[in-house]
Structure 1
Amino acid sequence: MEIAAEVRSLLDAESKLGEGALWDVERGVLWFVDIKRHRLWHFDPANGSNSISEAPNQIGWALPAEGGLLLCGLKDGLYTFDPTTQVFAKLSDVPGEPGGNRLNDACTDPWGRVWFGSMDDAEEAKSGRFYVFDRGEIRPAGPSGISITNGPTVSGSGDRIYFTDTVGQKILVANLTKDGVGEARLFADTGALFPDAYPDGPIVDAEDHVWTGLYMGAKVARFSPDGKLVATQTFPARDITKMALGGKDLKTAFVTTALKNMDETSLKAFPKAGHLLSFDSPVAGVTTTRVKLA
C-alpha cells in the first residue's frame, strides 16, 4: 500500500499555506500558491527556475486560460493574471458570498468550465459551497454548508466530479455532464482511515484513481474509482495540501505543503514543512483543459 518513493525537495518556498499545485502542459511549468502570503509561484522543473507574483489578496488557485492568461480565485472574487505584464485584473465578484469567506481550490472540466469552492476564512462557520464558472457566468453547483471546501476535481472523461469536505473528513462524488451536475454522494470516508488527518486538495490520474493530500497526515492517499484506498506516500512534512502530476511524461508528482500551524517541535519533526516536494509517481496524470473565459 505504501509507495515508498524517494521524496525530493524542489524548493524551500517557506509556504505558510502552500496550495493549488497545477501543471501547465503548454508552458511546461508548475503553478502553485501560498494563500496566506498572497503569492503566486511559477516553477520550471527543467532548470529549477522559479518566481513569485504578488497577488492583491489571498489567492487560492490559478488555472491556465485562453489568451495566455491565468484565471485566479482570490478572497474577493475571480481575477485574470497576465504572466507577461504581471497584472491581476478583477473579473467578477462571486454573488452571495459572505464577506468572511474566501475562495480555496478549483479545477477545469473538459468543456473549459471552472469548478471552485469557497470557505470561511476563520475555518469555523459552515458558509462554504461550490460554484461553476461557465464562460463568464457564475452559479452555485454542488454541495453547500461546508466550512472548508477542497477540490473539486473532475475525471479525465468528465463523467464524474469529486468534492471534498475537509472538516467532515469526506470526499463526495457526483455524476457530471455537459448539462450539469448530479446529487453528491459519499465516495470515501477518510476519517475512518486517517482519523487524525483531513482530506485536502484532490486530483484524478490517468487510471481514474483519486489522490488527496492529507493535512495533519504527512501523506497523500490514492483511491480506486470505487472509493477503496489502494496506496499512500509519506512525506517529511506534516500538512500536505495538494498534488499535481506533471513533467514530460506526466509522472512527476509535485506536492505543496504548509507550515502555518507548525510549532518549533513540529518543525523539527517535519523539516520540509512549507517546501515544494516531489516524487516519481507509478501512474501518469491527465492534461487539463484551458479555461474558456467567454
Structure 2
Amino acid sequence: MAESAISIFSDVACELGEGPSYDPGSGKLFWFDIVGRKLMEKAFPDGATIAHDLPFMASAIAIVDAGRQLLVAENGLHIRDISTGALTLHTPLEADNPLTRSNDSRVHPSGAMWIGTMPKKEGPKGGAIYWFRAGEIRLLYPDIAIPNSICFSPDGATAYFTDTPSGLLLRVACDPLTGMPSGEPAIFLDWRGQDGWIDGSVVDADGVLWNARWGAGSVDAWSPEGRRLRSIPIPASQSSCPAFAGPDASRIVVTSAWKGLNAEARRADPHAGKTFLIDLPVRGRFEPKVSI
C-alpha cells in the first residue's frame, strides 16, 4: 500500500493518543490524550479538532444513546452529556487506587464492556480486565500489566486481548448473549521477539483483526486463523489504536503517541501523536451501544 494512502486526520499531537471511537449518529470521531487528560472530537472527515479538558485520565468512550456517552476513566465509569459535556460518575472502578488508571476497553455485541486497567507507572502487574454491564462489574483477568487489543468477533462468540509486555495476543470463547468468557484463553498470535508491541485492535465484519503495532509504526491485518494478511505503514512509530470510521464504517483511523520520546526522537518522528486516516476500503463495523 502506497504511503500516499495515509493522510493526517488530526494534526493535534497527543502525548498518548488512544481509544478512538466513531459515533455514526453524529458522524464524529472521539479519542483521548490519556496523559493530557483530554477528550478529542472531530467531525468525519474534515471537521475541526476540538479538545475537551477532563478532570481525570480517561481512555475509552462508548455510546449510551443519542444524548449520552460512557467514559472509562481512572476512577470509574462516567456518563457524559453530549450537549453540555457534563460528567456524572456512574460506577466507581478502582477509585480507591491512585496508582492505576483505565486503558484499552471495548463494547461487546451484547452491550457488555470489557474494561482494562493498568499501573500508571507501567510497572508490576497491578492492572486487570473487567466485565461491565447494566451497572454490574465482574473481575475477569487480574495481574495485568498493560491490557490492550480488547475486541470481539462480529458474532460475539470470540474475544481477544493481550497483556502487551507478554507479546501474546490471546483469544477466548465468549457467550454471545452476555459477553462473558466461556473458556480458557489460548494464544492467537505469538509476537515475542518481533518488531514492536501489540497495542489496540478492532475486528471487522469479516472477522479480520486490525492491530496497531506500538514501536513499529504499523497497522497489521490478521485473518481469523491468525494469518497476516497485510501490514500498513503508519508515519508515527508509536501507533496505538485503530477504529472504523465514516458513514459506512469503511475507513480506518489510527491514533499515535509521543509519550516517552525525547527531543531528538520527536524530531526524528515529527508526526508522533497525530491521528491518521487509512484510505483503504474495509468492511468495518460500528461499535455497539453499551448497556449501563
TM bin (shorter chain): over 0.9
1:95 to partner: Cα distance: 5.5
Q: Which residue in the other structure is 1:291 paired with? A: 290
Between the two proteins, the alignment pairs up a number of residues equal to 289
**Structure 2 unaligned regions, length at least 5:** none
1:148 maps to: 146
Aligned to 1:108: 107
Query: How far apart, in 2, do the equivalents of 1:97 and 1:283 lie?
Result: 42
Residue of structure 1 in register with 2:127 after alignment: 128
Deviating more after overlay: 94-103 vs 121-130: 94-103
Map residues 139-288 of structure 1 onto 2, 5 A cutoff: 139-141=138-140, 143-177=141-175, 178-179=177-178, 180-181=180-181, 182-192=183-193, 195-288=194-287
Percent of residue pairs identical: 28
Distance 1:176 1:52 in 2: 36
Partner secondary structure for residue 166 of structure 2: coil
Alignment RMSD, CA only?
1.7
Deviation at 1:3, TM superposition (A): 7.0
Distance 1:189 1:86 in 2: 41
Secondary structure, in 3 states, of the residue corresponding to 2:25?
coil
**Residue 32 of structure 2: aligned partner:** 33
In 2, Cα distance between the equivalents of 1:167 and 1:97?
Answer: 25
Gap regions ≥5 residues in structure 1: none
CA contact (8 A) 2:251 2:281 kept: no
Closer/same/farther in 2, CA of residues 104 and 183 from structure 1, 3 Å limit: same
Q: Provide the C-alpha distance between the structure 1 equivalents of 2:280 and 2:155, rounded to a whole number of angstroms.
A: 21
Distance 2:142 2:216 in 1: 25
**Cα offsets for 1:23-71 (capped at 9, x unmatched):** 1122111110000011001111244223121111111111111352111
Moved more, 88-97 or 161-170: 88-97
Does structure 2 conserve the Cα–Cα contact (< 8 Å) formed by 1:169 and 1:199? yes
In structure 2, distance between residues paired with 1:14 and 1:51? 13
CA contact (8 A) 1:66 1:292 kept: no
Give the Cα separation in 2 of the matches to 1:168 and 1:53.
34
TM-score, normalized by length of structure 2?
Answer: 0.94
Question: CA 1:228/1:30 → structure 2, altered by over 3 Å: closer, same or farther?
Answer: same
Specify whether residues 264 and 97 from structure 1 end up closer, same or farther in structure 2 by C-alpha distance, changes over 3 A only: same
CA distance in 2, matches of 1:97, 1:258: 28
Distance change >3 Å, CA 151–CA 71, structure 1 → 2: farther
SS in 2 for 1:265: helix
Q: Partner letter of residue 279 of structure 1?
A: I
Give the residue type in structure 1 aligned to 2:20: A
Alpha-carbon spacing, 1:95–1:56, altered in 2? closer, same or farther (3 Å): closer
Moved more, 86-95 or 7-16: 86-95
TM-score, scaled to structure 1 = 0.93
